Amino acid sequence: MSSIIVAILAVVLVISIRYKKHAKWRKLPGPRALPIIGNLHQIGTLPHRSLQKLSQNTDTSCPCGSAMSDHASSPLKRYSAPQDPLENGGPPKIQAFDSSRLSRCIVEEGEIGLLVPKKSETGEVVDISSKINEVVADISTMMILGKKKDDRYDLKGLVEEVLHLIGAFNLADYVPLLGKLDLQWKRSSKVNVTLTSKTPVTSSLALSMMDKPTKPQDKNVHVYDRTSIKAILVELITAAYDTPAVSVDWTISELIRNPKVMKKLQDELQNVIGMGRMVEEKDLEKLDYLYMVVKESLRLHPVAPFPPRECTEDTTIEGYHIPRKSRIIVNVWAIGHDQNVWSENVEEFCPERFIEKNIDIRGNDFDLIPFGSGQRICAGMQLGLTTVRLVVAQLVHCFNMELPSGMKPDDIDMTEVFGLALPRANHLLLKLSYRLLG
């Protein structure tokens, strides 16, 4: 009996010490939450939108089980201190690619030609979303693996499966107690192993890294062996396979919905490039309006809406306690839709807003972070940004685009599907006619 009393007293003591320790912390703001599942039941199929709505009546964040979402840009400034406690761990990162082969890939190897029917067939309705997807997948595979297609590997199928599994709702992310029953994770690991074992190590980038130390200044540490090179290639391929395509697809959709912006962009291309040739990579730095169009598209349609973070140590931000191991979801979509930053016309596609607001999108300006920020910022940012600008420029410069008969710009369905990326739910269909001379 006395041992039971001692045990009860010990539990009470531990709880009261913990309570005292935590009492000075402010309670995280958020809507009323249920025990264990928090606000999970309120999230729905488009979590970027429902989390934004849930957090509108509060300051910053919304707890969902063990995960939290953050929708405001200001606290991010705190997260990105040099000793960033919210970094998702992992191996040191290689900076992938300069994009110098990109122009050759798109222009000289005729990639843009694959986008549309031959000139003689123009006027037909084209599934432009599928075409963009095919071309960008080819470009990414070419840039990463050194070859476009290899019939021995169904990379497309494998990448799609991995993306589906990683992006799908995962109960254990929100209720860690259920982690051990997490069949989804086991399936995902299995696919990863298949993908790793089937990825061909053909790229000169990969071969040049083989057996080199991971930290050149310290020759005695680990080297990049075949397995780690394959793992890096898998990460690059899954991250690159359709991200630029999703962004090009949204940009073209917005341009069709906004004919004045389309006209202004075609005028810029006509003035800078002329009507006698296609766009080359070296032209991009002269195409200021094109860059504003792409920035505006990434603001309204961030391809990866939830860059994930895990808190590696107990942390206090503005008086709020973030326990170690918390998953933090940075809601990049909500940041781009924040009226306080983007004014009342936040929902309008208006590239001109960047004339006055010279915002950087490479992770230095927390009002717009489509490539994430900090140590784990997108490794293919330069390649991604160049691919998007070049493919959009080629399409808009080479073709006039119209909606199928009877459709008006406002009829375009802009519904999204939530996953690891945020693509259009339905493909965009357009009639294209050739625009260049000759």
**Site of interaction with ligand HEM (CB under 6 A):** 93, 96-97, 140, 235-236, 239-240, 243-244, 247, 303-304, 307, 370-374, 376-380, 383-384, 388
Nearest distance from C-beta of residue 97 to ligand HEM, angstroms: 6
Residue 383 beta carbon to ligand HEM: minimum distance, rounded to whole angstroms: 5
Burial class of residue 432, CB neighbours in 10 A (0-12, 13-18, 19+): buried
The position carrying tokens 């990463």 is 144
Q: Is 378 annotated as a binding residue?
A: yes
Helix (H) or strand (E) holding 64: strand 61-64
Smallest distance, ligand HEM to C-beta of residue 257, A: 20
CB-count burial class (<10 Å; 0-12, 13-18, 19+) for 204? exposed
From the CB of 16, what's the least distance to ligand HEM, in Å? 39
Using the minimum distance from each CB to ligand HEM, give the nearer residue, 92 or 319: 92
Q: Are strands 320-322 and 315-317 parallel, antiparallel or unpaired?
A: antiparallel
Of 47 and 384, which has the nearer Cβ to ligand HEM? 384
Scored b (16 or more CB within 10 A) or e, 100-119 reads: ebbbebbbebebbbebbeee
Q: How many CA atoms lie within 13 A of 72 on its CB side?
A: 14
- Quick one: 79 or 399, whose CB is closer to ligand HEM? 79
Considering the complex, what minimum distance in angstroms separates the CB of residue 332 from ligand HEM? 7
CB-nearer residue toward ligand HEM: 33 or 229: 229
Least distance (Å) from ligand HEM to the CB of residue 350? 20
Eight-class DSSP state of 352: T
Q: How far apart are CA 129 and CA 148, in angstroms?
A: 19
Q: Which residues of 309-341 are buried (b: 16+ CB within 10 A; e: fewer)?
A: bbbbeebebeebbbeeebbbbbbbbbbbbbeeb
- Give dist(CA 269, CA 267) in Å, integer: 5
Nearer to ligand HEM, 166 or 377 (CB): 377
- HSE at residue 6, side-chain half, CA atoms within 13 A, is 3
Least distance to ligand HEM from the beta carbon of 96, Å?
Answer: 5
Q: Which is nearer to ligand HEM, 40 or 332 (CB)?
A: 332
Residue 92 or 276: the one with the smaller Cβ distance to ligand HEM is: 92
Largest distance between two CA atoms of the chain: 97
Judge contact between 172 and 179, C-beta under 8 A: yes
Q: Which residue has the tokens 């489509």?
A: 370
- The nearer residue to ligand HEM, 388 or 428, going by C-beta atoms, is 388
Residue 215's CB: how many other CB atoms inside 10 A? 11
Q: Which three-class secondary structure state does DSSP give residue 19? A: helix
Backbone angles phi, psi at 60, to 5 degrees: -135, -45
For residue 89, the tally of other CB atoms under 10 A from its CB is: 8
What is the nearest approach in angstroms of ligand HEM to the Cβ of residue 57?
A: 27
Select 239 or 269, whichever has its Cβ closest to ligand HEM: 239
Nearest distance in Å: CB 127, ligand HEM = 21
Binding site for heme: what residues are annotated?
A: 378
Binding site: what residues are annotated?
A: 378
